[in-house]
Amino acid sequence: MERIKYIDKDEFVEKGKKIYNRLKSKLERDYRGKVVAIEIESGEYIIGDDELDAAIKAKNKFPDKIFDFIRIGYKAVHKLRKVKN
């Protein structure tokens, strides 16, 4: 198994955002609301219905890589909601 090299979290997020911004118009047109897992070294990406789906698909394709997750068309991957009893 390949060892994951250290990368600064801010640098990691910035690389993910740059890749997303290059793909933004296509992704938002075709996959709004889905989650994209971006492999920042290659720029390749995987689309999933949610973060878990994207993570499983991404790990299967790139088992030794780390990913930046972005909900397509939104500012955050997760939503905080009040649970009603």
User: Domain boundaries in the chain?
Assistant: 9-71
Task: Write down the mean pLDDT value for the chain.
Answer: 88
What's the confidence (pLDDT) of residue 27? 96
Selection from 85, 30, 78 nearest residue 52 by Cα: 78
- Our separate counts of H helices and E strands in the chain read 2, 3
Collect the ranges in the chain with pLDDT lower than 70: 1-5, 78-83, 85
The pTM for the full model equals 0.82
Give the Cα separation of 80 and 62 in Å (integer): 30
What beta strand segments (E) does the chain contain?
35-39, 45-48, 67-71
What's the confidence (pLDDT) of residue 8? 87
Burial class (CB in 10 A: 0-12, 13-18, 19+), 65: middle
